[in-house]
Amino acid sequence: MADQFDLECRNVVKKFDDFTAVDDISLAIPKGSFFSILGPSGCGKTTLLRMLAGFQAPTSGDILIKGASVLGVPPNRRPVNMVFQHLALFPMMNVAENVAYGLKRRGVNKATIAQKVNETLARVGLPDSGPKQISQLSGGQKQRIAIARCLVLDPAVLLLDEPLGALDLKLREHMKVELKQLQHEIGTTFVYITHDQSEALVMSDQVAVMNAGRFEQVGAPQDLYYNPQTAFVAGFVGESNRWHGVVGGGNEHQVEINLAAGGKVVAKRDANAALKDGQAVDVFVRPEAIAIDGEGAVDNTLSAKVENVLFNGAASSLQVRETTTGHEMTVALPQTGAFASVKAGDNINLSWSFEQTRCFAASDSGATA
């Protein structure tokens, strides 16, 4: 059972004096998967990763790699390697020496080292860069060398600490796809931490959304996006329009909510969350779930005035203000040509189905993502 998982955490807790950075986290990562930990800065994800790498010891709980506990095993003896946030390539060595560093420490003979280094450099698509200095590499190349330096050691798990953070947007988009492909080819388990939801959603098989030291939800990217389990996940993953309101009736499928600002929306009733009448809730609707001047579903309708057209190619949207309550909303603007004439100041009708409306019991923690 245990050896199906490359990495397991059991009730891991890390406290710094009074502050609990990681609060009772358990996870199990299957062999060969791409696992992301997504959370805002300061949520404890770096601390968790450093505990996996061995730079910090958990206050309590257990960490298992390939079924064996690694508590008390120093970082240089753990079968995990880490790609650092700023890559931490050794500037005093050239590319080949950087990649060979770990093998040398293991006492591998020179011929094998040379062969493995060449193989690994070829695998990351930089076959002839061995004699280059680190300063001669571009950002994307450095990235690949940092990964090659770890992969050459055949780690059970590769830990990546926001390695794309320092790259410019275009390169980051490119590296996302490349990293996913690379992971798919080599089949090593990747644990990737990031605060960028798009990185996590695009690359991962499984994403854990972390907030204030705890996992809010673990699941496939689609799952997190379409079936968020908590208000934090609904607000943090993807764009959402959000209201505060009070439950005011409904039936077994749907909940009616009286919004604080006035008006009423109907949301899907989540079987797991028992909401009582009069309970304060947060309501979330994705911008792309809202139809403009549409027929379709009419569970929720309202009229609004366009304040701004935010043109961004396929990701264009409208900023609108609801006529009755003055609540600001974002609505996706499909670039099909049908809405090409919409401009600021127009009055439009918005509608969406209750199934695409989520509501969660209002909580103070993490309500501002």
Binding site for another protein (CB under 8 A): 53-55, 74-76, 81-82, 84-86, 88, 90-93, 101-102, 105-106, 149-150, 153
> For another protein, which is the closer residue by CB, 55 or 311?
55
Rounded Cα–Cα distance for residues 300 and 321 (Å): 16
Full DSSP string of 305-332: EEEEEE-BTBT-EEEEEETTT--EEEEE
* Cβ at position 236, least distance to another protein in Å: 27
Closest to 70 measured CA to CA, from 145, 139, 196, 157 = 157
Closest to 163 measured CA to CA, from 181, 185, 141, 184 = 141
* Cβ at position 83, least distance to another protein in Å: 9
> For another protein, which is the closer residue by CB, 90 or 311?
90
> For another protein, which is the closer residue by CB, 76 or 368?
76
Task: Give 243's strand partners.
Answer: 283
Which residue's structure tokens are 């860069």? 129
* Cβ at position 75, least distance to another protein in Å: 5
- Please tell me the number of Cα atoms within 13 Å of 334 on its side-chain side: 10
* Cβ at position 104, least distance to another protein in Å: 8
First to last CA, the chain: 37
* Cβ at position 180, least distance to another protein in Å: 23
Which residue's structure tokens are 């009423």? 264
* Cβ at position 125, least distance to another protein in Å: 21
> For another protein, which is the closer residue by CB, 76 or 341?
76
> For another protein, which is the closer residue by CB, 40 or 75?
75
Sequence-separated (6 or more) residues with CB below 8 Å from residue 188: 32, 151, 154, 155, 156, 157, 158
Rounded Cα–Cα distance for residues 274 and 287 (Å): 26
* Cβ at position 101, least distance to another protein in Å: 5
> For another protein, which is the closer residue by CB, 106 or 276?
106
Sequence-separated (6 or more) residues with CB below 8 Å from residue 135: 91
> For another protein, which is the closer residue by CB, 16 or 90?
90
> For another protein, which is the closer residue by CB, 56 or 204?
56
**At 248, which helix (H) or strand (E)?**
strand 241-250
Rounded Cα–Cα distance for residues 145 and 80 (Å): 17
Asked whether 156 and 66 are in contact (CB, 8 A), the reply is yes
* Cβ at position 102, least distance to another protein in Å: 4
